[in-house]
Amino acid sequence: MTATAGGISAVHKDLLLLIQGIPRELMLQYVDRYLGNLLAADGYDPELLQTLEMYASCNGHMNEMSSRLYIHRNTAAYRLEKLERLLGIPLKEPENLLLLNMVFLFCRLLEAEKTELPGNGLLAPGNRSR
């Protein structure tokens, strides 16, 4: 288990420092490419987004993810199948989980840059730059 301070692990803080040099436009491209279908206003489902982020942060361990989300394992499996269809990538592959963790770090970094009111962040429907 990684120690956390303020809800973000020390490792994530280090990764955030590493990716800060990546241009904002490139980060937005990755967010759009890998989360675009989930963030589209007409298909926005915060539960699916939360499930995906938790699954990636649990390194693909479904039991740990379902426990952290307080959902039944079958519900978790159903959501993951739906996510694979929506995203078009196999979620069990480690490189895809790494990529998704990076995309969620991009989201956090982009959110931190926003000066808008809370609730109007990047992960809210319709608030992405294309």
Q: Which of 14, 8, 22, 39 is nearest to 106 (CA)?
A: 22
Residues 36, 17: contact at Cβ < 8 Å?
Answer: no
**Would you give the DSSP letter of residue 18?**
H
Domain ranges of the chain: 23-113
Q: Quick one: pLDDT at residue 125?
A: 53
Q: Which of 12-16, 35-39, 94-98, 116-120 has the lowest mean pLDDT?
A: 116-120
Per CATH, the number for 23-113 is 1.10.10.2840
Q: Hey, which residues does 8 pair with through a beta bridge?
A: 5
Q: Which of 4, 8, 6 is nearest to 105 (CA)?
A: 8
Q: Considering the entire predicted model, what is its pTM?
A: 0.77
Please report, rounded to a whole number, the percentage of residues in the chain having pLDDT higher than 70: 81
User: In this predicted model, what pLDDT tens digit does every residue of 47-97 receive, in sequence order?
Assistant: 999 999 999 999 999 999 999 999 999 999 999 999 999 999 999 999 999
Handedness of CA 85, 89, 90, 94 (dihedral sign): negative
What is the Cα–Cα distance from 43 to 26, expressed in whole angstroms? 23
